[in-house]
């Protein structure tokens, strides 16, 4: 049987579904594309949920019917059929009941969102840029293992072969759930290839995870934008394009500046720059709200501060340590090759435990 709380929420979902059906057929809603888009998105989510609920109701009806046959005075053959079919229905019903229980449990069900990852070399000069490249490779290999879609948005390399800054988007099942806690300072301890004495250096790279909003979720006014175009350049400033394809967008109200120059098309660079700007604006609003909500911080794995040192990759000891949850793995090489599940599983578990402790 469904839990009373889950059943109540399903009934509310049915009522909301019917309301959305009416609203989406209203001329006023149709004429407002922003509102229509938001409601259509909600309608799609509820449609999938209620399709599962209708399947459950059908199975439950069959189960009740079979039980009635067994309790009644019907013929033996009919009862024999009921006895053989009931054991098949019971596990299916329990599986669906668990599905609804998990669906309405915020510690277990988290909607998949596309994210934008920004990696920037910090302290440590050349070694920091080289490690920035290592982290980019780690995330791309992890994305490949998970079957996520990756789109490179901006890549600024160094003459030594490192990465000064790289921005890329990821999308797919559990993508945001597994990588949302990667924001912060990643520290590396190793002997640089240029170090003749064998001394261990410590360098740092900053990673930012931005949730990519839908265009309908965040409206940006054209009057708030200053858009400049120019010729793109590579390491050392040399021109790598003969047309003004590079785009720099400045958002006047927030002061956020985004530059995209990887594409040869100005339109493509502009589109990517707008996606990054939208994600940064949303992130800025979330960070400001986050700073005001002291209670929310208690249910988080980390402080949420971009300057927080979250993890150390120690090469001499082949060790990766996440300082927020006290987790250590001695599989450094495997993790850098994209085998990150052990690490992300530990973070997901820690988040769940913290939320359960706060709610209890």
Q: DSSP of 108-157, one letter per residue?
A: T------EEEEEEE-TTTHHHHHHHHHHHHHHHHHHHHHT-EEEEEEEEE
Alpha-carbon distance values, 50 to 43, 101, 106, 226 (Å): 10, 14, 18, 45
The tokens for 252 are 């006047």
Which regions of the chain carry the CATH code 3.30.70.1660? 115-212+334-359
Q: What CATH fold (topology level) applies to the domain 115-212+334-359?
A: Alpha-Beta Plaits (3.30.70)
What pLDDT is stored for residue 32 in this prediction? 86
What pLDDT is stored for residue 215 in this prediction? 60
* Tens digit of each residue's pLDDT (9 = 90 or more) over 232-245: 765 544 555 556 78
What pLDDT is stored for residue 359 in this prediction? 63
Q: Tell me how far apart the alpha carbons of residues 213 and 33 are, in angstroms, rounded to a whole number.
A: 16
What pLDDT is stored for residue 57 in this prediction? 96
What pLDDT is stored for residue 282 in this prediction? 86
Please answer whether residues 358 and 298 qualify as being in contact, where contact means their C-beta atoms are separated by less than 8 angstroms.
Answer: yes
Which regions of the chain carry the CATH code 1.20.58? 4-103
What pLDDT is stored for residue 236 in this prediction? 47
What is the pTM for the complete model shown? 0.68
Alpha-carbon distance values, 145 to 83, 142, 221 (Å): 44, 5, 39
What pLDDT is stored for residue 92 in this prediction? 94
Consecutive sets of 10 residues in the chain, 360 residues long: mean pLDDT of each? Answer: 91 95 92 83 90 95 91 82 90 93 77 90 92 97 96 89 92 92 95 79 94 73 91 57 80 93 88 92 78 56 73 97 96 98 95 76
* Tens digit of each residue's pLDDT (9 = 90 or more) over 177-233: 999 999 999 999 999 876 767 789 999 999 999 998 766 567 788 899 999 998 776
Q: What is the CATH code for 4-103?
A: 1.20.58
* Tens digit of each residue's pLDDT (9 = 90 or more) over 162-171: 899 999 999 9
- Going by C-alpha positions, the residue among 262, 300, 257 that lies closest to residue 281 is 257
What pLDDT is stored for residue 173 in this prediction? 87
What crossing angle do the helices spanning 33-71 and 4-24 adopt, rounded to 10°?
Answer: 140
Which regions of the chain carry the CATH code 3.30.160.20? 222-289
> Which class in CATH covers the domain with range 222-289?
alpha beta
């Amino acid at each position: 049987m469904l839990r009373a709380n889950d059943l109540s929420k399903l009934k509310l979902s049915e009522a909301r579904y019917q309301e959305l059906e009416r609203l989406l057929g209203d001329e006023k809603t149709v004429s407002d594309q922003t509102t229509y888009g938001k409601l259509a998105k909600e309608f799609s989510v509820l449609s999938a949920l209620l399709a599962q609920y209708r399947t459950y109701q059908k199975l439950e009806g069959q189960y009740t019917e079979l039980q009635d046959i067994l309790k009644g005075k019907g013929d033996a053959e009919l009862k024999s059929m009921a006895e053989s079919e009931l054991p098949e229905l019971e596990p299916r019903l329990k599986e669906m009941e668990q599905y609804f229980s998990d669906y309405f449990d915020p510690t277990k069900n988290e909607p998949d969102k596309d994210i934008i990852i920004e990696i920037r070399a910090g302290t440590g000069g050349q070694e920091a840029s080289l490690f920035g490249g290592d982290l980019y490779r780690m995330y791309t290999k992890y994305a490949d293992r998970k079957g996520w879609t990756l789109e490179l948005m901006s890549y600024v390399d160094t003459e030594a072969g490192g990465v000064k800054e790289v921005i890329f988007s990821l999308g797919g099942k559990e993508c945001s759930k597994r990588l949302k806690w990667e924001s912060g300072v990643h520290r590396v301890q190793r002997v640089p290839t240029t170090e003749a004495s064998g001394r261990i250096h410590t360098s740092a790279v900053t990673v930012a995870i931005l949730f990519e909003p839908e265009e309908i979720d965040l409206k940006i006014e054209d009057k708030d934008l200053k858009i400049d175009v120019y010729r793109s350049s590579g390491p050392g400033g040399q021109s790598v394009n003969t047309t003004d394809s590079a785009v720099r967008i400045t958002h006047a109200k927030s002061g956020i500046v985004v530059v995209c120059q990887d594409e040869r098309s100005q339109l493509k660079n502009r589109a990517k720059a707008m996606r990054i700007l939208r994600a940064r604006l949303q992130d800025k609003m979330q960070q400001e709200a986050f700073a005001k909500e002291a209670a929310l911080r208690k249910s988080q794995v980390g402080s949420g501060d971009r300057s927080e040192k979250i993890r150390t990759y120690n090469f001499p000891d082949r060790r990766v340590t996440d300082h927020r949850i006290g987790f250590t793995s001695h599989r450094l090489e495997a993790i850098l090759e994209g085998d990150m599940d052990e690490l992300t599983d530990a973070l997901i578990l820690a988040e769940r435990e913290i939320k359960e402790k706060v709610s209890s």
